[in-house]
Amino acid sequence: MNSKNSLFMKKYNDLVFGLIMLAIAAGYLILTLQIPITGGMFNGRFFPLIIDLIMFLLTAFQFGAYFKNKGREASESGGEKDGKTVFYTVALIVAYIALMQYIGFVLSTTLYLFLQFIVMTPAGKKIGYVKYVVIAAVSSVAIYLVFRYTELNVMLPQGIFTMI
């Protein structure tokens, strides 16, 4: 890709990504509204609607980033770091999915979050290993408990923790 196309893509990256996410969120909303309502507030639509709301909010933030940075010139710097971050993130997601069945939701999610925090730590900033482990572990256990022991009653992979 030549330099002119590269600068064009960097300049409109937030806008294009925002439009794609808006289309996905709208499609997801249409599909969610086709789920039959069964019972109280925590029915089959509840969790998909929460996810869709989050998708629309993130899309709004994406558009906000585009309009905030619209006047700035797209720079060539940072592209290599961004590429590495994307590669590491995709690799972590693939490993997370592959390991979840074997080591369980809690351990795989804790490991994934911990490593993702490290990947997302800005260069030059000290990595808070203890803080990252605590946040990852507490988040993983909290998510597991919400899914397992509320009205959602979703069984997540237990892996080596079959006694939970």
Is residue 68 one of the residues assigned to a domain?
Answer: no
57: in domain: no
Same domain membership, residue 94 and residue 20: no
Angle between helical axes of 79-103 and 105-120 (0-180°, round to 10):
170
Mark whether 101 and 28 lie in a shared domain: no
Closest to 57 in 3D by CA, of 22, 27, 23, 31: 22
Could you tell me the residue range of the domain that residue 12 belongs to?
A: 8-37
What are the tens digits of pLDDT across the range 5-55?
665 666 677 788 888 888 999 998 998 888 887 777 777 788 888 899 999
154 and 84 part of one domain? yes
Amino acid at residue number 86 = V
Do 86 and 159 share a domain, yes or no? yes
Q: Is position 104 within any domain? A: yes
> Which pTM value belongs to this model?
0.59
Helical (H) or strand (E) element with 153: none
**pLDDT tens digits, one per residue of 51-93:** 999 999 988 888 887 888 776 655 544 555 677 888 899 999 9
Amino acid identity of residue 104, one-letter, is: G
Q: Does residue 114 carry a pLDDT above 90?
A: yes
Those residues with Cβ within 8 angstroms of residue 113's Cβ, 6 or more apart along the chain or in another chain: 132, 135, 136, 139, 140
The reply to whether 32 falls in a domain is yes
pLDDT tens-digit readout, 120-143: 998 889 999 999 999 999 999 999
Check residue 72 and give its pLDDT. 63
Assess whether 32 and 105 both reside in one domain: no
The rounded distance, in Å, linking the Cα atoms of 156 and 147 is 8
50 within domain boundaries: no
Q: What is d(CA 79, CA 132) in angstroms, rounded to the nearest whole number?
A: 26
